[in-house]
Amino acid sequence: LPRLRSLLLNGNELIEVPPGLATHLPDLETLAIHDNMITALPPDLPFLANLTLLFAFNNSIAYVDPALRTLWPRLSLVDLSNNPSSCVRVADVQSSSTLQLQVACECAHTYVGTDACVP
């Protein structure tokens, strides 16, 4: 499986992404983990050098670790919509002019300027 380019784990009632994606799937370009019950993005996502598409909508992701900001410049599309609180700082993704970020701040937060997701 090291040459696998697309991993579709959508609709499997997962609560987490299996660990070791970067180790076992170094050529991964597309990760579809939508329509599950995942609570956090995998911490090893930044180590997937070829990843360009991330579909993580319709999950239970309440927080996106700022450490994942190193990932944004390489991605062309990230869909985090329909999560309890898909609040990603706009400033964290500005370095990528080609990134399509689909986020619905369904929590009690709204983007203000480029610096914060505030109540």
Per-residue confidence (pLDDT) for residue 2, from 0 to 100: 83
Element (H, E) at 91: helix 90-93
pTM comes to: 0.78
Which positions ≥6 away from 112 have C-beta within 8 Å? 118
Lowest mean pLDDT among 77-81, 100-104, 108-112: 108-112
Residues 6+ apart with CB under 8 A from 32: 6, 7, 8, 9, 10, 53, 55
| pLDDT higher than threshold 70 for residue 108 | no
